[in-house]
C-alpha cells in the first residue's frame, strides 16, 4: 500500500471513493472536493494499492487545531489497516504543522469508525443531537497531538 499527500488533480478520485464508501449518505461531488482540497490548511492523504486508489482522508487545519472532514476506504478493502494508516499519516502531517488538537464528528451508530477512532486515541468531547437527521446523533471526538520529535 502506498500513502501519499493529496494532489490538486485528485478531486475526481476522491468523489468516486466517497460515493463508494458512503452509498446511502450525501455524496460529495468533484466540485466540493476541489474546493476543500484547495483551501489553505487542507491536509489529506490518498491510499493506493497496485496503482489503484483505495481510500483517502481529508482534514482542515486552522491555526493549532484541525478537523477530520472525511475518511473512507473502499468496502472491499476494509479491515486490513488502510483506514488506520491513512489516519496516522494525516495526524503526523498535522502535528508537523503545529496542530495540537484534532476534532471530528462521527455518527453515533457508526460502530466501525468509532472503534477505529478509539483505537487511534480519540476521546468523547460532546454529542450533537439529530446531526445526521432525526434520531441520528453525531459524537464529537477529540485527540491531542504531541509536537514531532526534533532531530
Ligand X SMILES: CC(C)(COP(=O)(O)OP(=O)(O)OC[C@H]1O[C@@H](n2cnc3c(N)ncnc32)[C@H](O)[C@@H]1OP(=O)(O)O)[C@@H](O)C(=O)NCCC(=O)NCCS
Residues binding ligand X: number (CB under 6 A): 20
Report in angstroms the alpha-carbon separations of 123 from 46, 100, 126, 140.
25, 14, 9, 9
* 73 near ligand X, rule: CB under 6 A: yes
Q: Is 30 helix (H, G, I), strand (E, B) or coil?
A: helix
Q: How far is the CB of 76 from ligand X (least distance, A)?
A: 10
* 22 near ligand X, rule: CB under 6 A: yes
- Scan for cell 471530528, then name that residue: 104
- Binding to ligand X (CB under 6 A) within 85-124 occurs at 106, 110-113, 115-116, 119
| Cβ distance to ligand X smaller for residue 50 or 151 | 50
* 72 near ligand X, rule: CB under 6 A: yes
* 139 near ligand X, rule: CB under 6 A: no
In 18-122, where do the E strands start and end? 42-49, 52-62, 65-73, 101-107
From the list 5-13, 78-86, 125-133, 140-148, the region that binds ligand X by CB under 6 A is 78-86
| Cβ distance to ligand X smaller for residue 78 or 101 | 78
CB 79 within 8 A of CB 120: no
Cα(34)–Cα(82) distance, integer angstroms: 23
| Cβ distance to ligand X smaller for residue 81 or 96 | 81
Cα(48)–Cα(111) distance, integer angstroms: 25
Amino acid at each position: 500500500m502506498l500513502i501519499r499527500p493529496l494532489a490538486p488533480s485528485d478531486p475526481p478520485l476522491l468523489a468516486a471513493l466517497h460515493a463508494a464508501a458512503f452509498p446511502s449518505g450525501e455524496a460529495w461531488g468533484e466540485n466540493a472536493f476541489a474546493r476543500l482540497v484547495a483551501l489553505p490548511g487542507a491536509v489529506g492523504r490518498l491510499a493506493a494499492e497496485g496503482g489503484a486508489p483505495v481510500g483517502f482522508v481529508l482534514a482542515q487545519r486552522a491555526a493549532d487545531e484541525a478537523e477530520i472532514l472525511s475518511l473512507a476506504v473502499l468496502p472491499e478493502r476494509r479491515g486490513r489497516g488502510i483506514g488506520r494508516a491513512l489516519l496516522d499519516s494525516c495526524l503526523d502531517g498535522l502535528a508537523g504543522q503545529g496542530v495540537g488538537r484534532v476534532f471530528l464528528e462521527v455518527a453515533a451508530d457508526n460502530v466501525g469508525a468509532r472503534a477505529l477512532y478509539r483505537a487511534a486515541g480519540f476521546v468523547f468531547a460532546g454529542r450533537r443531537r439529530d446531526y445526521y437527521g432525526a434520531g441520528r446523533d453525531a459524537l464529537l471526538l477529540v485527540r491531542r497531538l504531541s509536537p514531532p520529535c526534533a532531530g
